[in-house]
Amino acid sequence: MDVLRLHGSSDLRLHTEAAPTPTPGEALVRVTAVGVCGSDLHWFGEAGIGDARLEGPLVLGHEFAGVVESPASPLHARRVAIDPAIPCQVCVFCLAGEPNLCSALRFAGHGGQDGALREYVAWPERCLFPLPENLSDADGAMLEPLGVALYAADLGQVRPGEAVGVFGCGPIGLLIVQLARLAGATTILATDRLAHRLEAARACGATETVLVADNLPTGTFWQASGGRGVSVAFEAAGENQAVEAAVEAARPGGRVVLVGIPYPDQTSFTASTARRKGLSLVFSRRMKFTYPRAIQLVERGLVDVRSLVTHTFPLAQAGQAFDTAQKREGIKIIIQM
């Protein structure tokens, strides 16, 4: 089978390898669609992410869908979305209902766990979720970023009638905008450095937008919220400027949910502002128990993931796909197998 491995910074190589053999509890899945995520770009550009470094040639990709090809599986021949996280189910965090914090978590395309940019994977059947007929393979891959957005929205505790801010309008930020609208937020402030992403944010439900530049005057984001501040601010850019903007825009007593992954591995903001406002800061770690909810939201047309997919490449052009994503062209890049 064809396998794409990352050997170092910006060094992707196509290999031919044997298909994996499922172990008990696993099914063989033919991969059909893989999304390129911002965390994949960290691995691609930096040969690591946070404190995790590339230890050997790694298969990236954790937003994916496929078709089950194990004859003995109850899901045989079914199209499925695939949860990239494999928690141990026995550690204290798993038993406490926090599998995203599992002390022995394996995650596709991270550390020593190969991901989805290959023709076949052997994956635990408990991580496979059948796709409804009206969802495409690319829709199935988009359920992973939607799950991340859902978990962040859960942490934010958005209530009807509140004002919400979303700072960074990549795919996850745009999905948070949609979820805030569904939760009944009456004001949704969205910011980004790219005009085409703000246009997408308005289509997703944003009521106020700010095109970010380096020379914006102090108070810009507070004023953009109507001068009252936002009850919940979601930082989804992975940049300290976005964190600072979220802290500025949050009302006293508000909540700031940090979703983005920064480079370098440091987050900073003006402490006096956050302290005097008495803000609650929460860090969002991937997701948990979101796939059934995400499928329902997309199947019923309550969340639109399809319009966020702007570019599609075959596996043989994966290098071009990653270059396009690095340049922040479009919104979501999908690699079709």
Strand order of the sheet with strand 230-235?
208-211, 187-192, 163-167, 230-235, 250-258, 280-283
In the prediction, which pLDDT does 263 show? 86
Q: What does the DSSP 8-state code read for residue 110? A: B
Is 335:314 a contact under the CB 8 Å cutoff?
yes
The pLDDT tens digits of the residues spanning 227-277 come to 999 999 999 999 999 999 999 999 999 999 999 999 889 999 999 999 999
Q: Enumerate the domain spans of the chain.
A: 2-130+305-336, 147-283
In the prediction, which pLDDT does 264 show? 87
147-283, CATH topology level: Rossmann fold (3.40.50)
Same fold: 2-130+305-336 with 147-283: no
Tokens of 310: 């702007």
Tokens of 11: 């060094």
Average per-residue pLDDT in the chain?
97
Task: Kindly report whether the global pTM for this prediction surpasses the value 0.75.
Answer: yes
The pLDDT tens digits of the residues spanning 109-134 come to 999 999 999 999 999 999 999 999 99
Q: What does the DSSP 8-state code read for residue 226? A: T
Closest CA to 113 of 90, 133, 138, 88: 88
Buried b (16+ CB within 10 A) or exposed e, 260-273: bbbbeeebebeeee
% of the chain exceeding 70 in pLDDT: 100
% of the chain exceeding 90 in pLDDT: 97
Class of CATH domain 2-130+305-336: alpha beta
Residue 30 CA to its chain's centroid (Å): 22
In this prediction, residues 47-57 reach a mean pLDDT of: 93
In this prediction, residues 192-196 reach a mean pLDDT of: 97
Label residue 296 by pLDDT band (50, 70, 90): very high
